[in-house]
Structure 1
Amino acid sequence: METLEIDGWKLVVAQREQGTATDLRRKTVFIAKRLNFDDIIYMSYSIDFRSKMIFTMEAEGLSIRETAKQFRIGSASVSRWINQIKPKASTTHQRKIDKSELIKDVEQYPDAYRKDRAERFGVCQKAILQALKKMGLTYKKLYVIRKPTKTLDKRFNKKTTV
């Protein structure tokens, strides 16, 4: 193993012949335990290190492989970090339900069922429900008052004796 210092960063580097990364971690943990270094924490590379690496790559005009070799990290990590920084394209798509048309429909047919609205707009019932919920509209809740029946009367008219 070799220790490398880049811009104040100390990196422990292993050659390919020295085993896999998992073997290297096991050896390092074993050595750390033998030396009573309990405070060693394995973390991913910091954002500061990643940004320095990308800045160096762009400033010197290096390729991904050259950058990976210079910083002694995997080329897959370099390409992944570059792709994470690039702005992603917007994934919004045009909605089938126009809000103004839905409001007009609710005003015109206030007692319509979701199923009927869905057929008029050519969408599923869940889409209507979500659009109404997003706009803050809800269906009127009708509470039905049941007539008393004999079974209900018996249940509520029972007298408890102690």
Structure 2
Amino acid sequence: MTKVLSRYIAKRLNFDKIIYMSYSIDFRRTVIFTMEEEGLSIRETAKQFRIGSASVSRWINQIEPKASTTCQQKIDKSELIKDLEQYSWATLK
């Protein structure tokens, strides 16, 4: 879902923001195990567990969630000053 669409839905529903649900690893494994044991399709599995079929598809390839990317740490003030002195031509004037 795009950010614009998420904001629109949140506004229409009077929510401050959309909160995405994160399923536990155990639940994900249960879903995939059930799908394989019962020979269910992705759609049938999603319907049985009342989750999105895109989630089931994604879990087939990767059960563990991807690690979130962290923001780059702020540069130390002394390093910033040193960098500005060395590359003074790169600043706006």
Scaled by the length of structure 1, the TM-score of the pair is 0.27
- Greater length-normalized contact order (CA 8 Å, ≥ 6 residues apart): 2
Scaled by the length of structure 2, the TM-score of the pair is 0.46
Quick check: which one's strand share is greater? 1
* Bigger Rg, which one: 1
Quick check: which one's helix share is greater? 2
